[in-house]
Structure 1
Amino acid sequence: MTTQPDTRVQTSNHIGGDINKIERAETRVDRIDIGEKIKLPNLAGDFGSDRFLDRETSWIEFNTRVLELAEDPHLFLLERLNFLSIVTSNLDEFFMVRVAGLKRRIATGIAVPAPSGLTPEEQMEEIAEAAHALQERQARVFHEQVYPELEKEKIRIVGWDDLEDAAKEKLTRFFRAELFPILTPLAVDPAHPFPYISGLSLNLAVIVRNPQTGKELFARLKVPETIDRMISIDGSRAVNSSSSEARFIPLEAIIAQHLDVLFPGMEVVEHHAFRVTRNEDLEVEEDDAENLLKALEKELLRRRFGPPVRLEVEDTINPNILDLLVSELGIDGHEIYKLPAPLDMRGFAAIAKANRPALHYPKHVAHTSRWLNANETSKAADVFGAAREHDVLLHHPYDSFATSVQAFLEQAAADPNVQAIKQTLYRTSGDSPIVDALIEAAESGKQVLALVEIKARFDEQANIEWARKLERAGVHVVYGIVGLKTHCKLSLVVRKEADGLRRYCHIGTGNYHPSTARFYEDLGLITCDQQIGEDVSRLFNQLSGYAPKTTYKQLLVAPRSLRSGLIDNINKEIEHKLAGQKAKIQIKCNSMVDEAIIDSLYRASQAGVEVNVIVRGICALRPGVPGLSENIKVRSVLGRFLEHSRVFTFENGGSPKTYIGSADMMHRNLDRRVEALVQVKAPAHVKYLLDMFDNYLSPKTSNWHLDANGKWERHHLNKDGQPLLDVQASYLSSRDKKKK
């Protein structure tokens, strides 16, 4: 890999800075113009920060909704267990990033209040109260609701004393062969300083006594992360059989039983599990980085040593041991979470994967999109032929990723008429057919550009490896504009045809990740529209070269024009409403936080425009406030699949405009990332998206409602106490019916 000159890094950063300044200026002009035009009150003056919910509290509310799925007795049991695991994973990331960021701001004295009006200190207080309540509730759900049901299904998590002699002997052999060689007990005494505790690792705090002196000593033992947390005692046949008992024992329980082997000559007095969460957000000073990849690798090494932000301990822990951990780790009292064992419910994921069909969602096999194979009987549709006839709208995981997006790139790689392929990669899988297709194309002599976002959070190391693999194969690898993450989901294929070169594009809402495409709900558009192709080409040129003044005809691109473009569409809906024409705004996204977008939606509501927002995660918008947002409804849909698509529809006086793309309504997406929205034009596709909103918002559909105080209420049962329609299941059944 060649090192880019300093001049390019500086110039690229200057471009990113200019774009941010232009975006902010454009947003201000839009807001002033529309405020003067329709004579609506100044929101900041009339309502102040009260009009925004706090994003951190909203995030915990989101995870509470996930926990409510684990509490739902109507859901399949092992799926409920999996949702408990997801709650833990979500909380881990929240503490590693959001809480760590707040601590950093407090420590550096940057105490600027959030848009909600709360100071970082006040936010930390609210987080501590809400997060403690959430984790305690999660523990109760497992012990009082889910685990008793698991026992009824002959799935048990046992301790050492629950085992018969034969099982104990088997696990002892396992310990000696698989565990003992990799365990490293670390003593703490004048000759051995307190060891570094890595983030998210599960550990045993052990007290041993010297039988000769009677002195008690502390030692730390890390539970290996390379071995499954829950060890099956009875084998896979029992795990996957509903007629046999399937017993699991936590790895730490096996280790604890054999501590005497690790501390020969000492008396084991007691042991307790604990877990530390650290600041694991990356900070790369790109201005000073001659080589971004190398700079990021160095920062990944530093990530392991971030300051602690949470300490989880078993509620039976000895107070003296807890005091030692608190002192050595520098943890504050509100950062201590005392919970019943087992800690770290991510380990339940292995049990949740048991092959017990009756305890899982029905198996789902994705079908090839109807817009790809409406009249075809072959297994692999001709993606290019279909795109020449009409645009192709994809809805994953209901439409197969393998026979659409993956096939698009694989066919491009194998097609001798394809001259070039350009591709963004934000996250992808460990064994990626997308990457393989790019390599195949490069090795066959095609011009291939891969824009790899190596700063994709928590996927940095994997993306570094992909970048190097692609470079070795002859792919041109770039990392985009310094100072901006490249988050847009784009593929561009240039193909030589009888009438000249034709561009084929895929613009999506989700990553080019075949694994997550099976359980992430996403949308994508495959098109050979000439103007869209030109825009995508311009965007790739801006990302790989020097094009700071690029403009687009069909795409809304962040950070320059996406926010202002959406606000312009919102303002037009206000004009339509005031003119007595049809007006409605509908947005589906992962997060709704951006104040400029929210204020624009408030203005639309004040003008009488109906506004519907479907948000999966955090939402700072406060719906249903008289005089401010009484025409706004906010709903959330969670379930089997992770709702990930971003969709924007505007009634436009009776001629609806719809967009799909990669951007959430957050500062990071609109100001610090390269994002792209594309307008969906085919009438059948527009209807599909409008119908999707109707399905998600229907009173017959299970969803959550947000009220003006920031509280979410689940609506999932009818008046007879029966479950309402699962919108995701309805999409699955509709695909199955059409296939038949």
Structure 2
Amino acid sequence: MGAVTTENNQDQAQQADSPTTEGATDKAGEPRGVTSAPPAVTPDDAGTDLPDDRYLNRELSWLDFNGRVLALAEDASQPLLERAKFLAIFASNLDEFYMVRVAGLKRRNETGLSVRSADGLTPREQLAYISKRNQDLVERHARVFEEQVRPSLSERGISIATWSELTDDDHARFAAYYREQVFPVLTPLAFDPAHPFPYISGLSLNLAVTVRNPETGRESFARVKVPDNVPRLVPVDRTADEQVAVFLPLEELIAAHLPTLFTGMDVIEVHAFRVTRNADLEVEEDRDEDLLKALERELAQRRFGPSVRLEISDDMSEHMLELLLRELEVHPSDVVVVNGLLDLSCLWQIYGVDRKELKDPPFRPATHQAFAERETPRSVFATLREGDVLVHHPYDSFSTSVQRFIEQAASDPHVLAIKQTLYRTSGDSPIVNALVDAAEAGKQVVALVELKARFDEQANIKWARQLEKAGVHVVYGLVGLKTHCKTCLVVRQEGSTIRRYCHIGTGNYNPKTARLYEDVGLLTAEPSIGADLTDLFNVLTGYARQEEYRSLLVAPYGVRRGIVERIEREVALQRDGKPAGIRIKMNSLVDEQVIDALYRASQAGVAIDVVVRGICALKPGIPGLSDNIRVRSILGRFLEHSRIFHFVGSDEHWIGSADMMHRNLDRRVEVQVRVTDPRLTAQLDAIFDSALDPSTRCWVLTATGEWVPSPADGSTVRDHQAGLLTQHRALG
């Protein structure tokens, strides 16, 4: 995934956040092992001193976020292939948004659920706004590619050609390629009284074809699926010059050879189209049924979800469109007209061209100073006995810090047990391999694998079975809750003492995304944190019920309450004339209780700075309500993913896995940990200082909900991520 994409697209495109708590319950009425959170406060009962129109719409805010991704593709100062990458990210983001968020709104609209959003819109009204805003973004997306990026690539020797632009020699070579590699896997599907309308799989690229019988003059419809097991952009083997790369879209190749599929018929018209289907799984969690089997059943049904979007080429005829609308049961408002290539996520293939001068300079994460090689090798455990370590990915290497921590635990004969949560991990996961090695070495190993991690369900089922086969105790999570926290507990025998070592982070245990996602993590041997994680794993694997922890805030129940209490503490300090302030960095800010607490803090005079990557439902800068709140968004080479809280007056720093959203605070197990070591809090302060520097390139949210680029043209501009890269290289 790219630097500013949603987490596997997942953290922005998830289950709908309604104003009330949701979640399956056990037979006693609460999720097993966790005390449920109190219902979230709705806008109507949050208080009479705050205006009704104090929230921005979360869906439109997400579209604004994707618009900021698109702005990076428009930025001519970006390396050319990076611009192509951002175009691909925009396309992938939008796919997931429709598969989940729009699908959820359509489901509520069609079932008559009149639940309004926090800003007062019905599902129908939100869908109407989304349709208009999205069409504008799609047209802008196509213009950036067709008018800016595509011509610039061609000037640099990287072109996406049409069939008519190729030479006769190219045509001959492609004819052979088509016969050998493409034709055998094509299956034209007719539609007539003897053939039902073919099933169109979600996100597949298709050709809608009209053919005519030359004898009878009768016209018929057929669908040809563009195969996804053949490269979408086929390289033109024309030159040995490594600086030249020419590609032909596969749909162009197939369209040029349609007569081979419809022998004896005249091809009248051909148009590309693409369908997006509802991919929002609804697993009925019954304690009497195996969750893994239930999820596998739902995954098999995902491909048959109802259509939520129809993308068509702008040259599609009216009668062809009418046929698709009717047979796919798509409303005209769900049609997206695209000028040019459909599904620009194929530009990832262009990004793979080996042209380093057209990309960001190569980057290699540095080993954290605490784990740097010395004359006498030291274990991670010896380092942590001397003090806590805060790692900042991707600047600090994941493989030489967190991964090494788990791998050393797996091979250390003094380690008795490893307990680990896994939400998402990589294909060939060294973390999973280490846990397998530990179990085979006779250690007690527990892995909580979250099977419901959206769009990673199939991979996580695979890991769960691999771990179980190796003797790992695998737990699938809690009924009604996703386990989203990023935690690892290592229990080690040291003489007559049992010592616990811990990692708590903001990002997944995924070495690949750790090079793309910006995250922080705490490695510690602090006894109170070890005791807390021991208690938490007892909750996750058994029937323990616990609300209070020593050094952690745990959701459901604990995170929202803890954050709001600390906001209120800053208000009290402000009213007492003492220093106060709040600095928050996160992916999304949607939860009404947290937003209202921030509004009240602003009304009390507390200075508040929010750095949010994606969705923000808070309106800053409104006199008398939020005039002390400033909101900015930073996007760039890396995906800003860490969640950090700094309560200035009480001088508390917290990091963790939870964004301020209903799903995180009410329907997930999340962990926030307090960072207390002054050396480490100084590192967190430095992150805030850089992100909030007035000269840092960002977007600033206005009171009207508009995101404005900052600083203004002509001002001195610094890049937050480039600055951190420079700092870490100097330390490395």
Shared fold, TM over 0.5: yes
* RMSD of Structure 2 on Structure 1 (CA): 1.9
* Cα shift at 1:412: 0.7
Q: How far apart are the structure 2 equivalents of 1:138 and 1:550?
A: 47
**What is the CA deviation profile of residues 391-446 of structure 1, one whole-angstrom value per residue up to 9, with x for unaligned ones?**
01000000001101111111111111110001100001110000000000000100
State the match for 2:557 in structure 1. 560
Q: Identify the match of residue 727 of structure 2 among 728, 731, 734.
A: 734
d(CA) in 1 for partners of 2:318 and 2:660?
A: 45
| Equivalent AA in structure 2 for residue 363 of structure 1 | P
1:69-148 → structure 2 map (5 Å cutoff): 69-148=72-151
1:676 aligns with 2:679: no
Does residue 571 of structure 2 align to residue 574 of structure 1? yes
Amino acid corresponding to residue 418 of structure 1 in structure 2: V
SS of match in other structure, 1:539:
helix
Whether the 8 Å contact between 1:412 and 1:418 is mirrored in structure 2 is: yes
Residue type of the alignment partner of 1:274: F
Distance of 1:614 and 1:389 partners within structure 2: 33
Query: Residue 718 of structure 1: CA displacement?
Result: 4.9
- 1:228-283 Cα shifts (integer Å, max 9, x gaps): 21111137964xx33xx211110111111111111112111111000001110000
Tell me the distance in 2 between the aligned counterparts of 1:212 and 1:49: 68
Q: In the TM superposition, what are the counterparts of 1:333-482 in structure 2 within 5 Å? A: 333-373=332-372, 376=374, 382-482=379-479
Conserved? CA contact 2:34–2:544, under 8 Å? no
Q: CA deviation at 1:686?
A: 0.5
Q: What is the match of residue 258 of structure 1?
A: 257
Q: Which blocks of at least 5 consecutive residues in structure 1 are unaligned?
A: 1-8, 33-41
CA distance 1:72–1:95, shift in 2 (3 Å): same
What corresponds to 1:174 in structure 2? 177
Q: Aligned ranges for residues 265-284 of structure 1 at < 5 Å?
A: 265-284=264-283
- Separation in structure 1 between the aligned mates of residue 534 and residue 238 of structure 2, nearest angstrom: 54
Q: TM-score, normalised by structure 2?
A: 0.94
Of stretches 669-678 and 337-346 in structure 1, the one that deviates more from structure 2 is 337-346
Q: Matched residues in 1 for 2:230 and 2:521: separation?
A: 38
Distance in 2 (CA, whole Å) between partners of 1:49 and 1:284 is 35
Which of 19, 24, 32 is equivalent to 2:39? 24
Distance 2:378 2:426 in 1: 24
For 1:476 and 1:131, locate their aligned partners in 2 and report how far apart those are by CA, in whole Å.
46
Report deviation, 1:368.
0.6
How has the CA–CA distance of structure 1 residues 718 and 289 changed in structure 2, closer, same or farther, with 3 Å as cutoff? Answer: farther
Aligned to 1:483: 480
- One-letter amino acid of the counterpart of residue 202, structure 2: G
Task: Report how far residue 372 of structure 1 moved.
Answer: 2.4
Query: CA offset at residue 20 of structure 1?
Result: 6.5
1:52-102 Cα distance to aligned partner (Å, 9 max, x none): 000011000000000000000000110000000000111111111111000
**Aligned partners of 1:256 and 1:271 also within 8 Å:** yes
Structure 1 CA distance for aligned equivalents of residues 326 and 375 of structure 2: 68
Paired residue type of 2:198: P
Shift of 1:48: 3.8
| CA deviation string 1:530-580 (max 9, x = no partner) | 000000111111000001235311100000211000111111000111111
Q: Partner of 1:3 in structure 2?
A: none
Which amino acid in 2 is paired with 1:684? R
In structure 2, do the counterparts of structure 1 residues 542 and 21 end up closer, same or farther at CA, with 3 Å as the change threshold? closer
Name the residue aligned to 1:609: 606
Question: What is the CA-CA distance between 1:173 and the residue it aligns to?
Answer: 1.6
SS in 1 for 2:680: helix
Maintained 8 Å contact 1:542/1:550: no
C-alpha displacement of 1:489: 0.2
Distance 2:477 2:729 in 1: 41
CA contact (8 A) 1:508 1:522 kept: yes
Match of 2:647 in 1: 650
CA 1:325–1:288 in 2, change beyond 3 Å: closer, same or farther? farther
Task: Report the alpha carbon displacement of residue 166 of structure 1 after superposing the two structures with TM.
Answer: 2.2
Deviation at 1:178, TM superposition (A): 1.2
The answer (yes or no) to whether the contact 2:32–2:543 under 8 Å persists in 1 is no
Separation in 2, partners of 1:273, 1:22: 48
Please point out which of 181, 194, 197 is paired with 1:194: 197
- Tell whether 2:694 aligns with 1:699: yes
Determine whether 1:536 maps to 2:551. no
Does the Cα contact within 8 Å between 1:206 and 1:219 map onto a contact in 2?
Answer: yes
Cα contact 1:384–1:504 (8 A) shared by 2: yes
CA contact (8 A) 1:15 1:548 kept: no
Query: What letter is aligned with 1:194?
Result: F
Specify every segment of 5 or more residues in structure 2 that has no aligned partner in the other structure, as ranges: 1-23
Equivalent residue of 1:563, what SS? helix
Question: Deviation string for 1:92-149 (max 9, x for gaps)?
Answer: 1111111100011011111111111111111111111111111111011111111121
Partners of 1:637 and 1:22 in 2: how far apart?
32
| In 1: Cα distance, 2:27 partner to 2:635 partner | 39
Cα 1:22–1:485 shift into 2, 3 Å: closer
Mapped contact 2:272–2:342 kept (Cα < 8 A): yes
Q: How far 1:49 moved relative to its partner?
A: 3.2
1:67 aligned counterpart, secondary structure = helix
**1:178 and 1:234, CA in 2 relative to 1: closer, same or farther beyond 3 A?**
same
Q: Deviation of residue 170 (structure 1)?
A: 1.8
Query: Number of residue pairs matched?
Result: 709
* Aligned partners of 1:206 and 1:218 also within 8 Å: yes
User: Take 1:12 and 1:382, find their aligned partners in 2: how far apart are those partners?
Assistant: 47
AA aligned opposite 1:287? D
How big is the shift at 1:376?
2.4
Equivalent pair of 1:588/1:614 in contact (CA under 8 Å): yes
Contact 1:702 1:717 in 2 (8 A): no
Q: What residue in structure 2 maps to residue 514 of structure 1?
A: 511
| Structure with the larger RCO, 1 or 2 (CA within 8 Å, 6+ apart) | 2
The alpha carbon displacement at 1:171 in A equals 1.5
Alpha-carbon contact 2:287-2:479 (below 8 Å) kept: no
Residues 235 and 161 of structure 1: is their aligned pair in 2 closer, same or farther, counting only changes over 3 Å? closer
Q: Relative to structure 1, is the Cα distance of residues 100 and 13 closer, same or farther in structure 2, using a 3 angstrom cutoff?
A: farther
Q: Is 1:661 aligned to residue 656 of structure 2?
A: yes
**Counterpart residue number, 1:37:** none
Question: 1:313 Cα shift?
Answer: 0.2
Change (3 A) 1:117 1:264: same
The structure carrying a bigger helix percent of its residues is: 1
Summarize the Cα distance change of 1:87–1:12 in structure 2 as closer, same or farther, 3 Å threshold: farther
Residue 655 of structure 2 aligns to a residue whose secondary structure is strand
Paired AA for residue 406 in structure 1? Q
* Contact kept? 1:12, 1:481, Cα under 8 Å: no
Q: Amino acid of the residue matched to residue 249 of structure 1?
A: L
Displacement over 6 Å in runs of 4+: none
Tell me if structure 2 keeps the 8 A contact 1:13–1:481. no
Contact 1:13 1:483 in 2 (8 A): no
Identity across the alignment (%): 55
2:48 maps to 1:50:
no
SS for the counterpart of 1:178 is helix
Evaluate the alpha carbon distance shift between residue 483 and residue 145 of structure 1 in structure 2; reply closer, same or farther with a 3 A threshold: same
Listed one character per residue, the Cα deviations across residues 670-717 of structure 1 (whole Å, up to 9, x for unaligned) are 000000000011101101111211100111110010001111011156
> In the alignment, is the contact (CA less than 8 A) between 1:230 and 1:248 conserved in 2?
yes
